[in-house]
Amino acid sequence: MDRWHYLLVLAACLLITLPLEFLGTGVYRRPVRTARAVLPVAAVFVVWDALAIGADVWTYNPRYISGIHLFGVMPLEELLFFIVIPLCGLLTFTAVDNLLHKGRRLWSQRREVRT
């Protein structure tokens, strides 16, 4: 069970933030926009991470990863990290932005009614 910890944490992050899709303008409903936001940054960090792992700057405890490695060095979980965490961040940002926008609009409407 230990070897699935990293994947389970990533899955939990996605599951916990999934309801935010319905509070925001849509992250999963706009796949091209999402890919344009996530993939360039993920690519830079994947290369940087692969170089650091290859140079033994850091390692991963094999007890907590699946054992699937990309490019011969990077754990699958690490690649997924660079996709999942930005997705969760985008979901959070769009939901909060949308809720704040709605709140400002309601506040503005209430002020207009009072005057």
**For the chain, how many structural domains are there in total?**
1
Residues of the domain holding 34: 4-113
Please report the pLDDT score of residue 69 as a whole number: 92
Please report the pLDDT score of residue 106 as a whole number: 84
Q: Please tell me the pTM assigned to this model.
A: 0.84
- Separation between Cα atoms, residue 94 and residue 24, nearest integer Å: 5
Please report the pLDDT score of residue 73 as a whole number: 87
- Separation between Cα atoms, residue 42 and residue 74, nearest integer Å: 13
32-68 pLDDT tens trace: 999 999 999 999 999 999 999 989 999 888 898 999 9
Please report the pLDDT score of residue 111 as a whole number: 75
Please report the pLDDT score of residue 76 as a whole number: 95
As a dihedral over the C-alpha atoms of residue 64, residue 70, residue 73, residue 79, rounded to 10 degrees, the angle is -60
Please report the pLDDT score of residue 115 as a whole number: 64
